Every structure is written in structure tokens, then in C-alpha cells.
Amino acid sequence: MIPYSILDLSPINQGSDAAQAFRNSLDLAQHAERWGYKRFWLAEHHNMPGIASAATAVAIGYVAGGTTRIRVGSGGVMLPNHAPLVIAEQFGTLQALYGDRIDLGLGRAPGTDQRTARALRRDLEGAAENFPRDVLELQALLGPPEPSQAVRAVPGAGSRVPLWLLGSSTYSAQLAAALGLPFAFASHFAPADLMPALGLYRAQFRPSEQLARPYAMVGVNVFAAETEDEARRLSTSLQQQFISLRRGAPGPLPPPVDSMEGRWSPLERAGVEHALAHSAVGTPEVVQEELKAIIADSGADELMLTAQIHDHAARLRSFEIAADVLARLGAAHSAAA
């Protein structure tokens, strides 16, 4: 059985607020821990009215403090927005508080629009181009300090918080391979380059102190319910949110609707369906077959499941179904072996 994990955007629902979003995230993480999920990651976004996890390290601390076993981390921290020393101190602090169950996933996108990126960084010159150098600097700050090292992360130095590289293209796949780091592909919203990226990552991988062989995580949207109609209805919240984002008007996560007819143009529909192609939507039986196919096609070492579902109880049930499904797949695989 391959491990399965959760990526949470701490969604702010229409008619609710960030405080409730955080309470929902913690409740989901506590359930996920009982259901056998390996990790619970939160993602950095900015100036997004529907996403509460902008201060990602703070949100991670809240979730880690309310759980005991599940690994908690970032999926990811957008490193170009920050000085590597600041991230080393933040995640060194998290590990000092919560022990060896903190993950540090890194991305090179801004996680926002250009105007907000400028407000975050002030100077955008070379931010993304410096990403490989910043990863190496962060890695060094989290490693054992050198005797003559003038700047140290306190806490952080010597913590060896495990790094991951995240991406939606072949760029981060090649960098993860060169540095010998685990790689997570954002196929839950950018499926087109999944197979080329995984192929490059595996072919070019160089073993490192952190990782002896390639380890690839694949992102999948899951909308599971007792009936096909209900699962498809749940998925319309994410579809509406995607359209609003692409129209330049992001907002809170809307409630689901019975039909998307009249809510999107044919071009918008095609774009959303392409972006969300790696989604398992349906009854437990349908979701099982779709996840099984994704695992077989990608050769994933781990699945990262995500779901923007408006109703919290329905979101819990969807992740519970997914855990049951993946446990059954693992049991069937073990029996066959």
C-alpha cells in the first residue's frame, strides 16, 4: 500500500471566515490521523479571499499542536517570497516544538498575482532564477553548522528538516533529481506535464544524504460521496472557484450547485476540465478505480489528496472514503503478492 496524504488550502467558505477555516483544518487533520493519512500539508497563497493559509508556518504550528502522529508540513512554502534564513528559523522552531514530524515542501511560484508578489518581496528581480541557490542555502542552514559559519539559524541549524521540491513543470523535477530530493507534482491543477516531469526526475536522480532513490508524490483531487450525483455536485465548488480565479476575481469557496450550465463558457469549461483532469469523482467504487489507475499510470510512491469541498462534514466524509478505498487497494495488493 502506498502512503496517502492530504494537501489542505484551509478554505474560507462563503459566509464564513478564516477562524472557522483553521478550526476545520485542524479537525480534518485530527480525523486524517485516525484514518491512516501520512502527512497533512498546508499551502502558501496570498491575497486569496478563499484561502486562509498565507502564514503557512503559523498554520502548520496550529495543526501540529493539535495532532500527535501525522506529519505536518508545507505544500508548499514559496521560497522566492522569503529569505532562506527566515524559513530555516521558522521550520527549525516547528521541529523544536513538535519533533521529527515536520516537512518543508518548497515551490518557486509566487503563490499570488504580480502586484501582491511585489508587496511581498519589494524586488522581483531574479527571484525565481535564484531558486536553486536559495534551496542550497536553506539546506545548508538546516544542516550541521560549520565551525567558521558566521550566520546560523537558531533554532534550525542541525535540525535537518526534510526538504521536498514541488512543481507543475519539468523544471523542479530536474532540480529535485539533481539535489537528490523527494518531488511532489501538482497534477491536481496542472496535469499536462506529469508524466514528462516524473520521467525526467527518475532518469536524472542522483542519490543524496537525504534520499537514496527517487520518491515521487502525485496530487489528485478527490470528491467522494455515497452517490455519483452528490460527488459531482460537491466538485462544483472547486469548478466555480477556478472560473472566478481565471476571471481575475478570486473569492471565498462557494457552495455547490446542481448544475454548472450557464455558469461557464465552453472555453472556460474546457480549461477547467483540463486543469482538473486528475480528479477522482464519484462513489467509493468509482473513486477506487480512478485512484488505482492514477497509481498504475504514474508509478506514484505516494498520493497527495486534496478537495475544495464547501460543507465540512462532506469534506470529512470524502477523505474518509478515500482512506478506506486506498486501504482496500493496499490489502488487495498485499494478498496478490
Task: Classify residue 310 by burial, with Cβ atoms within 10 Å: 0-12, 13-18, 19+.
Answer: buried
The whole-number pLDDT of residue 128 equals: 66
- Maximum separation of any 2 CA atoms in the chain, in Å: 65
Instruction: Please report which confidence band the pLDDT of residue 120 belongs to, taking 50, 70 and 90 as the band edges.
Output: confident
Give the residue numbers spanning the domain of 210.
4-336
Angle at 111 between CA 28 and CA 48, to 5 degrees: 65
Asked if 45 and 54 touch (Cβ cutoff 8 Å), the reply is yes
Q: What is the pLDDT of residues 39-52, one digit of tens each?
A: 999 999 999 999 99
Q: What is the pLDDT of residues 138-182, one digit of tens each?
A: 999 999 998 888 999 999 999 999 999 999 999 999 999 999 999
The whole-number pLDDT of residue 49 equals: 95
* Over residues 226-252, mean pLDDT: 96
Mean pLDDT of the chain: 94
The whole-number pLDDT of residue 193 equals: 95
* Over residues 289-310, mean pLDDT: 97
CA distance linking residue 107 with residue 313, whole number of Å: 30
Determine if the pTM surpasses 0.85.
yes
The whole-number pLDDT of residue 256 equals: 98
User: Grid coordinates standing for 38?
Assistant: 501520512
Task: Classify residue 270 by burial, with Cβ atoms within 10 Å: 0-12, 13-18, 19+.
Answer: exposed
Q: What secondary structure letter does DSSP report for 200?
A: H
Residue 122 has pLDDT above 60, yes or no: no
Which residues have C-beta within 8 Å of that of residue 68, sequence separation ≥ 6?
33
Q: What secondary structure letter does DSSP report for 191?
A: -
CATH number of the domain where residue 186 is located: 3.20.20.30
Share of the chain above pLDDT 90, in %: 88
Number of Cβ within 10 Å of residue 260's Cβ equals 17
Which residues have C-beta within 8 Å of that of residue 144, sequence separation ≥ 6?
157, 158
Domain count, the chain: 1
SS3 of residue 305 by DSSP:
strand
Which residues have C-beta within 8 Å of that of residue 196, sequence separation ≥ 6?
170
Number of Cβ within 10 Å of residue 119's Cβ equals 12
Instruction: Please report which confidence band the pLDDT of residue 124 belongs to, taking 50, 70 and 90 as the band edges.
Output: low
Asked if 193 and 251 touch (Cβ cutoff 8 Å), the reply is no
CA distance linking residue 100 with residue 87, whole number of Å: 17
The whole-number pLDDT of residue 1 equals: 79
Integer angstrom CA distances of residue 126 from 44, 106, 133, 134, 280: 20, 17, 11, 11, 38
